[in-house]
Chains A and B, each alone.
Chain A
Amino acid sequence: MRAILEGSHTVAEAVKLCRAQVVSAYPITPQTHIVEALAQKAANGEIQGEFVRVESEFSAASVCLGAAACGARAYSATTSQGLLLMAEVLFNIAGMRLPMVFTIANRSVSAPLNIWNDHQDSMTVRDSGWIQLWAEDCQELMDMHIQAYRIAEDHRVYLPVLVNMDGFILTHTYEPVEIPTQEEVDAFLPPFDPLFKLDPKDPVTLGAYVGPEKYHEVRYCLNESVEEAKPVIVEVAESFRKTFGRFQGDLLEGYQLEGAETIFIAMGSLVGTLKDTVDRMRKAGHPVGLLKLRCLRPFPGAEIHDAVKNAKNVIVLEKAISLGGGHIVATELRSAFYGRMPAPRIAGAVIGMGGRDITAESIEKVYQRVVEGGEEFFWADLKEEVLQEA
C-alpha cells in the first residue's frame, strides 16, 4: 500500500511491522512523533508488545537492554541529549551483544541549546560497538528499519543497530511511502532467535567482570564482529531488493559516478539535496558524482576507495566535527586511503551545523573552493558578520 506519511510515522509503522515486543522511549524533540505514534499504536492494540513509559533515556535504553537479554525484540528512539544520556547503556548493550534497533532523529548537542539537525549526536557514539546506518528519505526509513532488525539478529552479526534520520528534515517531512504488508515483512524478518537469554531455568550472567587476562581479547572479538557485519549488510540489502524490489544502497550507493572527476560523499538527507545538485552541476558542465555513505559503522573504507579511486577529488560533506580532532569522516577516509593507489585528493567541509540550511548554492561554493581554490579542510558558509560578534 502506498500512503503519504511523515518520516516519524513511517518509522513507527516500520517498527509495528517488525513486531517489536518491547518499546521504551522518552520524548525529546525532534523524535517525539515516533514515540507518540508508537504509544498510540500500542494503546489501539495494533502492537502486541509492551510499551514501557520511563523517566529518562537512560532508563529507556536500560529497559531495552533487559528486554533483549530476555530474548525480546526491543526498540527505542531518541536524539541529541537523550542519546548522550543513553551512552553508558549503549556501550553495555553492544558489549553484552544484544541485538536491537534504535532510531536517532539526529540533532545538534548542547550547549548552546539548539533543536535542529546535524550529526554531532550519533557521531559521538560511533565507537560504541553499534552498527550505524543513515537514511536518505522516508521510503528508505521504512526499508532500513526492516533490514536493520534482520542485520542485528543475524547470528553472524548479533549486534545492535542505530538507524539515523535527520531531525525535522526527515522526521517532520511527508513523502509517499510504499508500506509492505505484515505477511511480506514476516517472511523477510523471522522472529528473533536469541543465541542466549536470561532464563531462571538455565541461569547465566551477562556482561560480568572480565579482568586484564581476557578483556583485551573480548574487545578484539567485539571489533571483529562489527567488521564482519559488512557482508551481511550487503546481503540483507540484496535480499530486500529481491523481495520488495527496492534498493537504496548497501554500505554505499553511487550516483552519477560514471566519468565523475569530483565525487561528493555525504550521509542522510543531504544525499537527496546532493542528487539534485549533481544533476544541476552536470548540466552546467562540471563532471561531478555522488557517493552515499549508508553505513558508517562498520566503516567501509576499502569499498569507498574502490568506488571513487578513479576520481581526481573527493569532497566529504559532514554535519559534525571532532572538536580539536578535525573532520571525522574525511579523516577516516584519508586513513583508509593511505597506501592505496590510485589516491584521489580528499577534501572535507563541515556544513549545516545546528540546522543551517544546505542549499545547492552552498554545495557549489564548496566545490569551487576545493576544485578551483585548492582548499582541503574548511567550514562552509561561515558568516563573517556573526564571527565578529565573538
Chain B
Amino acid sequence: MTTDKQAGEPYLRIAHVIKKFAAFTALNDVSIDIDEGEFVCFLGPSGCGKTTLLRAIAGLDIQTNGRIEQGGQDISALPPSERDFGIVFQSYALFPNLTVIRNIAYGLENRKLPRAEIDKRVRELLELVGLTGQEDKYPAQLSGGQQQRVALARALATSPGLLLLDEPLSALDARVRVHLRHEIKQLQNRLGVTTIMVTHDQEEALTMADRIVVMNQGVIEQVGTPMEIYRHPATAFVADFIGKMNFVDGTVAAAGRVKLGEVELSCDTDGMASGAPVQVAVRPEDIIARGVAADEANAFEATVEDLEFLGSSLRVDLAGENLGGQRLTADLSVNLMRELALEPGHGVTVRIPAERIRLYAAGGT
C-alpha cells in the first residue's frame, strides 16, 4: 500500500506550508506530521484554512511555499493525478450518469485491469460499505447516506495510501450522520488507511479522530488527542471553540493563586506575573455543588440567577457579589437540583478543582 520507509518517520509530513490568495493568507506557516494509519481531523470554524490545507495535500490548490512529503517522497509540486490519495467531498461528486458499480469501478478502469479483477474488487467494496444489491442504481435513486458510501467505496477502490474526507457528513441529517460516523471510523480501523478528515463539527472530531488539529485564521492552534484538546486547551480560542467554557476576567494574585471578583482560587498560574490580568476558563461540568463545605479549598458562595432545563441536566447561571458582577454557568444534574432545592435567588456553595482551572492572558480570545 505504501512505499518502504524507515521506522519512526511520519507517513505525511507537512512543513512550513504557506498559502496566499492575492493579499489574503489562508495558511500561515503550517507544520504537522501524521503517522501511518492515523485518523486525523482538521477542525476549525469556516475560513480557518482547514479545507485549503486538505486541498494542498491533494494537490488541488498547491501551496505558495512549504513542503509536503508523503511516504518519504516530496510531493509539494505534483499535480493531483501524480499523488496517491482517494477523496470524498461534501457533495460526494458521484457521476450522475453512471450506475453505482460504474462509479466505483471508474478508477480501476483507468488502470487497465482485467474485467474479472475489476468486478471482483467492486463486489468486495460493495460488501465493505454495505451496498450489495444496489449496484445497478443511479446515484439519484439512492439516499444521502447510500451516496456517501458509494463515494467512499469509489475513493477506496484503488487502495490509496491516503484517504481525504472533506466535510463528508455535513450534508446528511443528524441520525444518519451519527451512524455513518461510527461506520467510517470502523472501516478506517479495519483498513488501516491513513485518513485526514476536515470538519467544523467538534463532536464529529472528538468521536472519530485519533488526533485533532485545531485551526484558526490560517494557523494551527493545537494538535492533540481528543482528550488532550478537551482537557487542556492550549489557547483561549481552543478552549472556547471545543465544548462549552466559562470565561471570566481575573488577575493573578500570587504564584498559584488567581482572583476573580472577591474570590481567590488556587490554580496553576504557569509563571504568570503577579497582578497580571487574565481570563479564567472553567468548563460548566467542572463546577461542583454536591456536598461542598464552605471552608473547603477553592469553595465559594454564589447566587443562582437563572435555571435552564436541558432534559437530563440543568444549566445554572451563577452570580453574586463574590464574583464581582461576573457570571459563571454550571451544568448540574436534575437530581442534585432537587437535593439542594435550587431556585433563582437562592445561595449555593460551589467548588472548582484547582487542576480544572485554566488561565489565559487577557485579550486572548
Same assembly: no
